[in-house]
Structure 1
Amino acid sequence: MILDSFDIKSLIRPVIDFPKPGVIFRDITPLFQSPRALRLVADTFAQRYVEADFTHIGAMDARGFLIGSIIAYQLNKPLILFRKQGKLPADVLAEGYQTEYGEAFLEVHADSLCEGDSVLMFDDLIATGGTLIAAANLVRRMGAQIFEAAAIIDLPELGGSQRLQAMGIPTFCLTQFALTEK
């Protein structure tokens, strides 16, 4: 893996008590402010998936758009946007899910995928897995399949990766943090 000699965790800023008291938010903006780090992250994902057999890349609103769009460009794959409710202009499919902070809805254009398509899904972080599970449900409703769920960060104590794997969805993350790790 390209990132083996690079300390990606040093460029993920912990923000204490955001968005609510007791939460340590994992801010990836410093990683994106480092051209070298961004290139290493993108190249690591691209190297992993360059010969993989999937048809589309799905990116989660909003930070998943950052890495998902880069990888879609690098691998010459169509990009599917999974958006928060009310952000897409055409006919949509919607799926409700629980977040760490409450209930939300995820939407995708209803004509984004066809039966037989296979989607590599990207988000910045896997916490409870709610967003990626909602996206997986939407993908399956369109007759397509999930190839894998990928993220920069995993928070394994919140169980999202395990929930995805229990649904038959493999996961891949570049790094992980314990909930209390600063």
Structure 2
Amino acid sequence: MNHRHFKLFKPYGYLSQFQTNAKHEINKKFLGELHDFPEGTMAIGRLDKDSEGLLLLTTNGKVSYDITSSKTDKEYYVQVDGEITAEAINMLQNGVTISHKSETYRTKLCKAFILDHKPNFPERAKKIRDERHGKTTWISLTINEGKFRQVRKMTAVVGFPTLRLVRVRVGTITLKGLEMGAVKEITIP
């Protein structure tokens, strides 16, 4: 069987799935509304409804397993509330304790730094508060794990809650060249 792979710029407000039987999700937006994917296509990992950016999709479960493993880096650009400190960046890099499934979890070492410029992303469907409500900072955070809402929990623990979260890279595959909501077929070795 010839498997197919895609990269998608997931917009804010979409669930990382194609359909649901859950009554509370009937009025939600799903990936199938963005493109006519082949039967058997699955999201590789997830981005929650409030997150945007690079989402990989495949018809090959083994590829999905390999990419979601801890061998693959995932890079996020994160807009946080306030002017993040060097101390907070250092804490993120060295791991912080977050809650996960009613237990505490220590995140692994990661890469974190302040971006020297504001990323050029399209405006989000739901407006984020503006500068009148205080300063914000854009940071890059690269992790190779993916606990539920991990990045949001990490920035909150160090005192700088996430306002906007955009995944820009998974392994060597980047968001570059995609408009919001666009899909491109790719080759994954």
**How would you bin the TM-score normalised by the shorter chain?**
under 0.3
The structure with the greater share of residues assigned to helix is: 1
* TM-score, length-scaled by structure 2: 0.26
Larger RCO, structures 1/2 (Cα 8 Å, 6+ apart): 2
